[in-house]
Structures are given as C-alpha cells and as structure tokens.
Amino acid sequence: MRTLIKLICFGVVLLKLGVITKATNNTADTNGTRDRKVKLTFTPGRITRLPTKSSISVCVNFTILDNNRYQLKIKEKIPQNTPQVAGLEGNDTFIISHNPENGDNSHNITFMVRGLFLGHTEFYISTELVRSKLEVNIIDIDLNTTYGVTPEGHREINNDEVVPMVTTFDISVVREVRILDTAFTVAINVLVIASYLSMGCKVEVPVIKEVLKKPIAPTIGFLSQYGFMPLIAFSVAKLLKIDNNLALGFFAMGVAPGGGMSNVYTYLLDGDLSLSVTMTLISTLASLGMIPFWIYTLGRQFVDEDQGVGIPFANIMITLAIIVIPTLVGMFISYKKPKWAKLISKIIKPLFIFVIIFAFSVGIYANLYIFSFFTFKIILAGCLLPYCGFIIGGLMGLVSRQPRNRILTIAMETGIQNTGVPVLMMRFSLMNPDSDLALIGPIAATIFTPIPLWIAIVVYEVYKRCCKKDTKEELDEDNNKVNVPNDYIRVTSIDSKASEPI
C-alpha cells in the first residue's frame, strides 16, 4: 500500500513537472514569435486628382522578414448613396511567400486604379498570415505619407484562421475640365460683377440715409444675417453629419447673405424695398470682414487639414473684393453722374438676363454631377438652411415690433443667400475635387429657397384680387361722395402722418 502511494505521488510530481515544462516551452515559443514582421511600401504613397475614365498603376513593395506565407488583399470602399469614386482593375488578391533558398524576401505587386466619379475614397489593403500558428506584429507600414495606418498587431492566428492587418490607401478623383465648365465659371463672374455694379448704380444715398435714421430694422437684419445664419448653417451640417467636403459649401452659403433676388421678392410681396436695398448694401460691404471671420472660426471645423486641404484666405479676400468694388464703383457713378448710372443700368439689364438664362441652362447641364449627390440629407439641409432663415428673420422682426412690410423684408433678407459668393469662393479657393464637392451645398440651397416664396406670391396675388377688390370699390365710392382728390387719398393711406393735403 505504501509503495502504491509513493508511485502515485511520484507520478503527480512528474505530471506537474511536465505541465510546467510545457507551459515554459509555450511561453518561449510565443515570445519568440512576437518579432515576426512584414513591411509594405506604396508607390505612389497616395493618388491625388486622378481624372475620371483614367487609370494609374500602384506598386506595392512587400518585404517579408520571416519565413511565413502571406496573403495581400485589396478591397474598394463602396459608398452607400453616392456613385463609386474609383475602381480596381485586375487581380485583388496576391499570395506571397519567403524563399529561403535565394534569400529573396522582397516582392513587388502592381494593381491598377481607375477613376470613375469625382470625390475622395480609399482602398483597404489587408495583410493576412496564412497556414501558421503564431503571433504577427506589423510594425512598419510605409505609405510615404503619414496616412491612416491601423495595424491589428499581436493577434494569435490558428491554422485555418485568417486575421487581417488593415491599412488604407487614399484616392481622389477629379472631373475632366471641359469648355462648358470654363464658360460657366466666366458666366458666374460676369453675373456677379454686373449685378453688384447695377445695384450700386441704383442705390440712392438719400434713401439709404432715410432708412438709417431709424436703424432698428437694419440692425436686426444684420444680426439675423451674420449672427444667426452662420450658426444655423453650422448646426445643420453637424446635426445631419454631412461630409466635410460638402459641409464647407453649406457653411459658406450660410455666411453669404445679400442675395439680389431678395429685392425682387420684396417688391413682389409688397415689402419695404428701401429697407431691402439698404440691408443688401450693408451685408455686401460687411462681407469683407464677416465672411473671413466665420470661415476662420467655425469654417475650419469642416476642413481636413490632415489631407492637405486648407482655406486660402487671400483668395477669399480677392473674391470678396470682386463683389465689393463694383458696388462701390456703381455708388460713386450714381452719386456723381446719375445719368451715367441710368445708362449703365439699361445696358446691364439685357446682359443680366442673358447671363441668368445661360447659367440656368448651360450651367445646369455642365454641372449635372451635382444631382448625383442629392441624397435625403443634402435635400433636407438645402431646405432647412433658407427656411430656418425665413423663420428666424420673421421672428426677430416680430419681436422688435416692426410693421408687416418690414417683418417680411427682414425675413427674406435673412433667408435668401447670395449664391454667387460661395460659388466664387469655392471655385477660387479650393482645388478639385474639393471645389466641385463644395458647390453642392450652395446649389441645393438655391434650388429649394424659392419654393415657399413662389407659394407666398401666388397666395398673395389671389388675396389681392379677391379680398381687396371689395375694399377698393368701397374706397372709390367714398371718394366720389366727398369729392376728395385721389392724390390726397393715396398719400394719406401710405403715410399716416400726412394729415394735410399736399
């Protein structure tokens, strides 16, 4: 019995020693495999401004620093609601092995990338260890640029298990430059310069002075335009999680008030036209300081500086000078040579109409790509930006107890933005494809801005013809009874302070 007990104890001791020895060996093997490495080098380090319908080859130098077998797999990023930017041509999977006989551990792999649609994208490059059980640590991935490297590292891989070590390869694709694109850019420049020169010629300094004698309405309008609208644009872009390339265009639209169409809609809806012209002039002159301020502060949140995209403020100031200088020239001509101002307005008017027709016909055809980006979020943002401006401007006028015509004017001056300003800023300040992508926001907002205004004009015209007809007939009957001059009735109805005939 004692002998049996001794044998059992001896066996237990041997078993424990064996477990310890095995654990020690496993630990040593595991530690020994932590130094397994591979190295990837991409040439070029990234693809920038690849034209659509063009292809370029990318060489991957794959260096194996151990005796294992690897699989290199390339996968395209497929967008959900927008066209695919780039595609892979040829093989997407490569098997690479180390050859110990000749010591060759470096392999070159080439794959082709084809530009399909403008924008930014990336390819996922995964390195997988095949048919081995060890731990792999990718510690050296050289993309020639400091770009997104996400190695998994220190992952145990069984014989049939494949755990990828993933990095990304960045690609940007641009549109082919066509004659139509150049013509559209020139047309926009002519449209903006002509409209602001015409506006300056039509400005009457006495009228502006008269409006500024009661500065409450212009002040409220200025706060709504340059205070609330940039915050609305920033909030819409952030809440809807719009991509930075598109969000920058929406934000630029939100900080560029003073659209000339606001004067037209003010006239059609019987608003205060003098106040509208004054607010447009003030916002135009203030744009030299306010637009760079907002772009420099909140606008930087939409810029991917790590990808080499910056905001050239010098180009923005040049763009704003193109807007302000014609306005000042027109005002000077109107003040010194009123006859010249009238002549210039007559000459510019047909040119203005021609350029508008050209911009909305050929311009739309040249920029049809924009509609490919019209997802639900883009449409919603294009509606929220102006409609929130209408509401905020109207509420500000209502709270400050302004008359109806001025409330209407402030609302329209706040909600209607100047599309030409962000278009010129994005064209002159950003490189493609960022400039093309940034135009999507201003175009979307421009398309959806006039919808409620058209409805309001139709309703107002019906109201004037149906509801005010009886009132006018009653007024005419009263005039005939008392035989009061029509000029007296007209003046007293417009200005309540005019209590005596003129």
3-state SS, 436-458, equals: HHHCHHHHHHHHHCHHHHHHHHH
Of 84, 119, 83, 81, give the one whose Cα is nearest residue 376. Answer: 81
Query: d(Cα 252, Cα 256) in Å, to the nearest integer?
Result: 6
Query: Given the structure tokens 């997407």, which residue do they identify?
Result: 92
For 107-157, write each residue's pLDDT tens digit: 788 889 999 998 888 888 887 776 543 333 333 333 333 333 333 322 232
For the stretch 452-457, contacts whose Cβ atoms lie closer than 8 Å and that sit 24 or more positions apart, written own/partner, are: 452/387, 452/390, 453/265, 453/269, 453/412, 456/269, 457/265, 457/268, 457/269
Which pLDDT does position 502 carry in this prediction? 34
* Helix, strand and coil percent figures for the chain, each rounded to 5: 60, 15, 25
Mean pLDDT of the chain: 75
What interhelical angle do 420-429 and 244-254 show, nearest 10?
Answer: 140
> Which amino acid is present at 480?
N
Of 223, 265, 236, 279, give the one whose Cα is nearest residue 378. Answer: 236
Query: d(Cα 310, Cα 303) in Å, to the nearest integer?
Result: 6
Query: d(Cα 299, Cα 291) in Å, to the nearest integer?
Result: 10
Query: d(Cα 3, Cα 14) in Å, to the nearest integer?
Result: 16
3-state secondary structure of 133: coil
Which pLDDT does position 480 carry in this prediction? 54
* Token reading at 255: 């900080």
Sign of the torsion formed by the C-alpha atoms of 312, 313, 318 and 323: positive
In 217-253, which positions are buried (b, 16+ CB within 10 angstroms) versus exposed (e)? bbebbbbbbbebbbebbbebbeebebbbbbbbbbbbb
User: Which regions of the chain are under pLDDT 50?
Assistant: 4, 10, 12-36, 132-163, 308, 482-502
Q: What pTM did the predictor assign?
A: 0.74
Question: Which strands, in side-by-side order, build the sheet including 38-43?
Answer: 86-89, 106-115, 55-64, 38-43, 140-142
CB 204 within 8 A of CB 330: no
Query: d(Cα 218, Cα 287) in Å, to the nearest integer?
Result: 15
Please, what CATH class does the domain formed by 179-466 belong to?
mainly alpha
Burial class (CB in 10 A: 0-12, 13-18, 19+), 306: exposed
* Token reading at 90: 């040829």
* Token reading at 135: 């731990």
Query: d(Cα 81, Cα 65) in Å, to the nearest integer?
Result: 42
Query: Given the structure tokens 């151990």, which residue do they identify?
Result: 66
Query: d(Cα 157, Cα 253) in Å, to the nearest integer?
Result: 52
Of 415, 417, 414, 406, give the one whose Cα is nearest residue 274. Answer: 406
Which pLDDT does position 133 carry in this prediction? 39
Specify the CATH number of the domain 40-174.
2.60.40.10
Q: How many CB atoms lie within 10 A of CB 37?
A: 14
* Token reading at 257: 């008030």
Q: Range(s) for CATH 1.20.1530.20 in the chain?
A: 179-466
Pairing mode, strands 140-142 and 38-43: parallel
> Which amino acid is present at 256?
A
Which pLDDT does position 230 carry in this prediction? 95
Which pLDDT does position 486 carry in this prediction? 47
Which pLDDT does position 351 carry in this prediction? 72
Q: Range(s) for CATH 2.60.40.10 in the chain?
A: 40-174
CB 146 within 8 A of CB 161: no
Of 215, 196, 190, 256, give the one whose Cα is nearest residue 416. Answer: 256
Where is 472: in which H helix or E strand? helix 468-482
| Planar angle of CA 347, 349, 353, nearest 5 degrees | 130
> Which amino acid is present at 245?
N
